[in-house]
Structure 1
Amino acid sequence: MMFFNPSRLRFARMRRGFTKARLAKELGLQVRSLQGYENGEYAPEPDKLSTIGEVLRFPVDFFSGDDLPAIEPETASFRSMSKMSATLRNTALGAGVTAFLLNDWIEERFRLPEADLPDLSDLSPEEAAVTLRRIWRLGEAPIGNLIHLLESKGIRVYSLAIEAREVDAFSVWHRAQPFVFLNTFKSAEHSRFDAAHEIGHLVRDRHSMLHGTAHSPDMEREANAFASALLMPRANVLARGHGLLTLEKLIHLKHTWGVSLAALAYRMNQLGLFSEWAYRNLCIQIAKNGYRTSEPSPIRPESSQILRKIFDALRSEGINRAAIAKELCIIQDDIDNLTFGLTLSSVTSPAGSIKNINNRQFIS
């Protein structure tokens, strides 16, 4: 009889957003019977385990694997914990754990950039953003593709295909490796700000994240301030933000920094480019035009460059998503949802960008 790991059943249930009562009802079981499975008191019969796999969308082999790593909620940088249900939080954390499995599989075959993140916890958000720009040699120029920048600094970036406004993004440290997860249902401008926000947590709140210290509203406000300063450096905004600042001009200018109209207006007001009256009037115009929920003149979504290169290399070796999913004992949709919807059959990579080193492929 196949070995059954009860912790994997509990993980699969929470990953798919099922309560014990709901899953028991779907399976035609008493809740006590399901508890017995999850507590390891007894294992489900093969036909029942097959049904569990169908309901939770996990291959039966998944339930015989080793214990999975865990992400404690206190170590993840969720922005609005008070507004988030436990079910939704567990779904997002489960996606993160699945990303760890995929990332381990990738790093067994590819050598990825090492993490290059300083500890800037002793600096204010504005000072930390300026310092990080200096360390990363960004100067005052706008940042092009932010996901590419994060990946070049050794941050593993994965997507969250969760249609819920309560989950903007989150970051976490796993085995001294920083991970950022971005909700792909958000606008490209929103996603860029989220990514910058998570960098703020990684460089300023590392101790709190590693030790599970309570996540506070002040930490969120400071991460927002850091993101604003990182994406829209003071000198650059002041140089471009002169003259009469109309709504139409701001819609044009927001493309310079790849931020939302509201975020740009807030930063310009913070830097003294608006009077309080002018800023309030501008906010009224933004709301009246529906620009808080539907971004005007939207920018193109960003995606992972490293995953594109990896998938291109795998395609050349005849490895497809089905093979990866089978080895990890997950379904192909889980891979798609973590990798910005990229596929192994429709990606290309610049010639010469992948080099063989010690029988592993180096992605730069």
Structure 2
Amino acid sequence: MNIEFNGTNLKLARQCQGLSLNEVGDAVEKSRQYIHRVEMGRDQPTPDLIRGLAKFLNVAPEFFFERSGVMLCDDAYHFRKLASTPVTMKQAAQAKGELFRRFVAFIDQKLRLPECNFPSFEVSSPDDIERAAERCRSLWELGLGPIDNVIRVAENAGAVVTTFHDVSEKVDALSISSQRPIIVTNNSKGSACRVRFDLAHEIGHFVMHESQLTGDRTTESEANRFAGAFLLPRGTFVKAFPKLKGSSLNWPGIVQLKMEWKVSKAAILYRARQLGLITESQYKSGIIYGLNRKGQATSEDEDKLIPFEKPELIYNALKILRTQLGLSSFDVAENVHMKMELLRHFLPDLDGEIKEDFSRLGKVFDLEKIRRARALAS
């Protein structure tokens, strides 16, 4: 155990669980001000207080002494949010992302996860962004048709994806440009199409905004353009977009296009305007009269017919750890000094597992080879 208490870890555990300084202070019979000083490194807690904090925050006492490498700079976090998102919600999402990153880093030491394969492009124009999206499709051998599963695309390129179920709808998505790229989505929107767009948006940050601060109008607009171009490549979309009925939109055709490409009607209209297939007036009319006034501003009628995609890589990795190394999720949690209750904040689909032995802990298995073998056998 390191000598010095790491207040940053206390802050991360608190924010991850959406707890205030007052709530933590009340739980351990300390003032808000004292907990803040401990987080800032101005005060060192006693061993008894450390045990009390650990119990309340669902971590092992050793968690507070972990260095876990250098904390990532702000430009490593791509945080997509609405302008009205409260700071506390952003902090909670970012804290979950950081603790998940540490969890993934441990797994990365035990398994050979897919090699990271996100290219890097400099963009300065819409056409640059279109080409970047097309080159990604080519690199990942996706063709120019509908993408069946965007999460699988991101994971095959080396990212680890997870989902937050317990954050506000005001938090859209979060990605982390670390040694192992991470994407976090929010399924509370109620629309698989919108989550797929969020995923493509975060992929856009990875390939266009390496080492750049994001969240401003320019980078968000570029990532949105990339998402549209990635999900609806211009050459194919121009041919697939349904012909107008006179000057009116062909709504049955748009619905059919949505179901085939799993992209929202709003995004289809935006892309059509972007590529000059409809006018600004037709676009506004479609949004206002075709969607908003019919109660489809945030959730469209067909959304319930399109299932949410689920992260696969992290849960497959945990399964391999359990079956091949005898290392259960409980054991992994123990190794990163977190309790299962805390893990469920950033791994909401995690099932409780029985603790198994550490007899094969030193071995390293190639997850990519195992996945390929299973694919060939299926």
Question: TM-score w.r.t. structure 1 length?
Answer: 0.84
Cα distance, 1:297–1:333 mapped onto 2, change above 3 Å: farther
Instruction: State whether residues 234 and 271 of structure 1, in contact with CA within 8 Å, keep that contact through their aligned partners in structure 2.
Output: yes
Answer whether contact 1:171 1:178 (CA < 8 A) is retained: yes
Structure 1 stretch 143-152 or stretch 89-98: which is displaced more?
89-98
Residue 349 of structure 2, aligned match among 341, 346, 351: 341
Asked if 2 retains the 8 angstrom alpha-carbon contact of 1:77 and 1:201, the reply is: yes
**What is the CA–CA distance in structure 2 between the aligned matches of 1:148 and 1:340, rounded to whole Å?**
18
Give the Å deviation of 1:57: 3.0
CA gap of 1:24–1:336, structure 2 versus 1, over 3 A, is closer
Q: Distance in 2 between matches of 1:153 and 1:254?
A: 25
1:149 aligns with 153
RMSD after superposition: 2.7
Same amino acid, percent of matched pairs:
27
Number of aligned residues: 347
Larger deviation, residues 117-126 vs 104-113: 117-126
CA drift at 1:226: 0.8
Q: Is the contact between residue 184 and residue 340 of structure 1 (CA under 8 Å) also seen in structure 2?
A: no
**1:1-364 paired onto structure 2 within 5 Å:** 5-7=5-7, 8-40=9-41, 42-67=43-68, 69-80=70-81, 82-122=83-123, 124-175=128-179, 177-186=180-189, 187-208=191-212, 213=213, 215-243=215-243, 244=245, 245-283=249-287, 284-298=289-303, 299-317=306-324, 318-339=326-347, 341-343=349-351, 359-363=364-368, 364=371
SS across alignment from 1:159: strand
Structure 1 residue ranges, 4+ long, deviating more than 6 angstroms after superposition: none
1:251, distance to aligned residue in structure 2 (A): 2.2
Seen in structure 2, the aligned counterparts of structure 1 residues 344 and 42 have a Cα distance that, compared at 3 Å, is closer
**Partners of 1:249 and 1:242 in 2: CA distance:** 5
Q: Match of 1:34, SS?
A: helix
Relative to structure 1, is the Cα distance of residues 246 and 54 closer, same or farther in structure 2, using a 3 angstrom cutoff? Answer: farther
Residue segments in structure 1 that go unaligned for 5+ positions in a row:
346-357
Q: How many Å separate the matches in 2 of 1:256 and 1:191?
A: 16
Shift of 1:310: 1.8
* Contact map agreement 2:2 2:66 (CA 8 A) in 1: no
Alpha-carbon distance change, 91 to 111 in structure 1, aligned in 2, over 3 angstroms? same
TM value normalised by structure 2: 0.81
User: 1: CA distance between counterparts of 2:211 and 2:153?
Assistant: 23
Cα 1:156/1:289, change in 2 over 3 Å: same
Deviation sequence 1:66-115 (CA, Å, 0-9, x none):
35642444431123375333322221121111112211221122101111
Q: Distance in 2 between matches of 1:81 and 1:214?
A: 13
